[in-house]
Structure 1
């Protein structure tokens, strides 16, 4: 079913994209600033939990594709993962990078308000485009190159130092914490661009399903995540347990992070580049409004507003001329 034949699905997809993108950022930010008695949940633990849930979800999807035959699932996993060890090992590189990226996003949202994070994270468009040109030899049109320049200008304005007065209930962010947050976002953008293009290149070289590839990614991500958790939070894990500080909000973050890619993959099937641009724009606007009115950790300025408008414009401009095959989404 094409998007032109299903106008209702196009707008349902728009809503799904907006809700998923916005809710993940806001719930993650809220979970990192929520004041509670006892220890706060470990970001490294949340990353591991998301990988486990992701593996389980992808296994169910592979089962569905094979009429829920456990025997077929076992045979496929043995043939495609165990018997093709070298092919499987290739996934260790993007899996390790994605694990790093997921941890960086928690660091970023612990030190940046949701609005600034949302706008700055759009730099992944730039890094993905540059890696696509260098690794996949893709050709970008004039509008794409122009949009990348506009994007960089917009993000630069968003990060422009301003003296804003924090409200009485706002938790002011120090310059040091903002620097940590921005650096975390920038490294996450670079890692996201490289890992996404690398993963796309592997998928184009094989005939394995995207769900099976994500099982492989999840297995490596789980191992790398566990290593990182015990390396950086081992003492706290031994003292309070892996699931310390977990609550409803934490579980929501884990679920959104684990299955969010699946939702986006299904939605983009019916959404064109214009609708994806609308989704990104609405997500930025909603994140800004909720960050200001609900989380109360953000004071908008005219410079931020101008930067956000440029980023939104760049998002639309990048999709205007892009007619290549749909990009692969890592779940």
Structure 2
């Protein structure tokens, strides 16, 4: 009897702890996503006499920070034992090179995605980017069906239709004043930003599902897999930086144009990888849906009131509302009726 009560109390305490971690991950995800989008947008549009920092350099710096943090977390998981840490690295990396190479694919795609994020936010306002980027729900769903064999319910497919309609309305051309040259420039920037977001959505969907597939087939911790992912990301990021910005790096160094804002962007981007890992571990789809929706609303309000680079219209609000509704609807999970199971 006493043992039963003790087990019940332990289970209740574990449930409360898990619930707290879920809401903590929700809050951190909303804060990180909103802060990164707005800070990055500000850093790419800030006019200064000094040269602008290299986006490729910021991506590499963020990978280094993620590797260091994840290494410390894995070290902590191994009771701060240098011998255990060394043995783990030898067994999982040196003796299993093919297993490690599997992570080269998502690492390369994530590196591309991170660079596309800078391109998109250099050409789009923060609110439009946030809403359009929710197309990654569609790409993730399609890749999940094709690669993981997941089955989507009617609510999920309906939400994808809402999503497409919402993004179409958000991208609907708005009447602008000024000369024709300014209009052409604005349209050109909008097109470049839109293409960057669409490519980022495709890469995000594929890389996310691929990484999930690897995690389900492994016994290693999420932090250790992030170390392997970060190592490949660092290599690909460095190669990309030297290929596209090698001359500028040689002339003025990798950290040219860095300031407090740039360092904040790098830290937020590095935090993003850790936050996603925490969300995967502790949160559920409903909480992730709320996080995306809250982030869109917050980014739009701050972009309008503080950055003053966004003038919303009724069409935009309608599209944003549809995207938010789609996000929540996609995250909705029907409770199975007696004798049946609904798989989402």
Q: TM-score, normalised by structure 2?
A: 0.88
- Check if 1:243 corresponds to 2:221: no
- Check if 1:106 corresponds to 2:118: yes
Q: Which position in structure 2 is the counterpart of 1:62?
A: 74
- Check if 1:256 corresponds to 2:268: yes
Q: Which position in structure 1 is the counterpart of 2:173?
A: 161
Shift of 1:322: 7.0
Cα distance change of structure 1 residues 309 and 213 upon mapping to structure 2, 3 Å threshold: same
Count of aligned positions: 321
Q: Which position in structure 1 is the counterpart of 2:32?
A: 20
What is the distance in 2 between the residues matched to 1:233 and 1:157?
36
Q: Give the stretch that moved more between structures: 198-207 or 107-116.
A: 198-207
Unmatched 5+ residue regions in structure 1?
Answer: none
Bigger radius of gyration: 2
- Check if 1:266 corresponds to 2:266: no
Shift of 1:273: 3.4
What is the distance in 2 between the residues matched to 1:199 and 1:242?
30
TM alignment of 1:69-88, pairs within 5 A? 69-88=81-100
Shift of 1:237: 0.4
Aligned-pair RMSD on alpha carbons? 2.2
- Counterpart of 2:42 (choices 19, 30, 37) is 30
Unmatched 5+ residue regions in structure 2?
Answer: 1-12, 336-340
What is the distance in 1 between the residues matched to 2:32 and 2:252?
31
Contact persistence 1:22–1:283 (CA under 8 A): yes
What is the distance in 1 between the residues matched to 2:61 and 2:144?
30
What is the distance in 2 between the residues matched to 1:202 and 1:7?
26
What is the distance in 2 between the residues matched to 1:281 and 1:38?
36
What is the distance in 2 between the residues matched to 1:58 and 1:211?
5
Q: Deviations over 1:28-82 (max 9, x none)?
A: 1111111122111000000000011111011001001011112211111111011
Q: Deviations over 1:198-226 (max 9, x none)?
A: 11111111212111111111111111101
Q: Give the stretch that moved more between structures: 73-82 or 224-233.
A: 73-82
What is the distance in 2 between the residues matched to 1:256 and 1:241?
22
Contact persistence 1:3–1:272 (CA under 8 A): no
Structure 2 residue matching 1:174: 3-state secondary structure: helix
What is the distance in 2 between the residues matched to 1:181 and 1:278?
25
Cα distance change of structure 1 residues 2 and 125 upon mapping to structure 2, 3 Å threshold: farther
- Counterpart of 1:221 (choices 215, 221, 233) is 233
What is the distance in 1 between the residues matched to 2:18 and 2:224?
29
Q: Deviations over 1:121-143 (max 9, x none)?
A: 00111000000000000000000
What is the distance in 1 between the residues matched to 2:213 and 2:21?
29
Q: Deviations over 1:145-192 (max 9, x none)?
A: 1001111110111011111459xxxx9961101100000000000001
- Counterpart of 1:52 (choices 42, 64, 71) is 64
- Counterpart of 2:212 (choices 200, 215, 224) is 200
- Check if 1:139 corresponds to 2:151: yes
Cα distance change of structure 1 residues 308 and 23 upon mapping to structure 2, 3 Å threshold: same
- Counterpart of 2:136 (choices 124, 130, 136) is 124
Q: TM-score, normalised by structure 1?
A: 0.91
- Check if 1:39 corresponds to 2:51: yes
What is the distance in 2 between the residues matched to 1:2 and 1:46?
39
Shift of 1:271: 4.1
Shift of 1:274: 3.3
- Check if 1:307 corresponds to 2:328: no
Q: Which position in structure 2 is the counterpart of 1:92?
A: 104
Shift of 1:238: 0.6
TM alignment of 1:319-330, pairs within 5 A? 319-321=331-333
Contact persistence 1:158–1:304 (CA under 8 A): yes
